[in-house]
Amino acid sequence: MEGQINSKEQCGICVRLLAKIFDRFDEIAQKYIVTLKYVQVYNQRVDDLLSGQKGVIVQSLADGSCNHVKEVRITSVAGFIEVYENASRLRTTAANQVHAQSSRSH
């Protein structure tokens, strides 16, 4: 899903989608707020990758979002990449039979 995150040609779906979203906002000259929450479910535990907090107790809300995790405002694709790369360093990864490094959280 992430591909080569800093490469316009090799980036994954998240970066491509955000680029389209921000381009569309510019086209219609409309202001919107884009926010990001980034969690990992690993070994029955939820970790908030934006705050670094492990073992978060998350509650789903009626609008499909969740509380008790950090939320940051994203204003550009570059801003997303910076936040995503920093948070991704906190992901738990391990080798499996196919990949040398896998999040194993899917």
1-27, pLDDT tens digit by residue?
Answer: 454 556 566 567 888 888 888 889 888
Which pLDDT score is estimated for 35?
A: 92
CA distances from 12 to 4, 17, 21, 65, 106 (A): 7, 9, 15, 23, 17
State pTM to two decimals.
0.70
CA dihedral 101, 104, 63, 30 (to 10 degrees): 20
pLDDT in tens, 61-78: 888 778 889 999 999 888
**Cα(23)–Cα(71) distance, rounded to whole angstroms?**
22
* 3-state SS assignment for residue 104: coil
pLDDT band at 105 (very low <50, low <70, confident <90, very high): very low
Which pLDDT score is estimated for 102?
A: 53
**Cα(76)–Cα(13) distance, rounded to whole angstroms?**
15
Name the token pair of 55. 């073992």
Between 13-28 and 77-88, two packed helices, what is the crossing angle to 10 degrees? Answer: 150
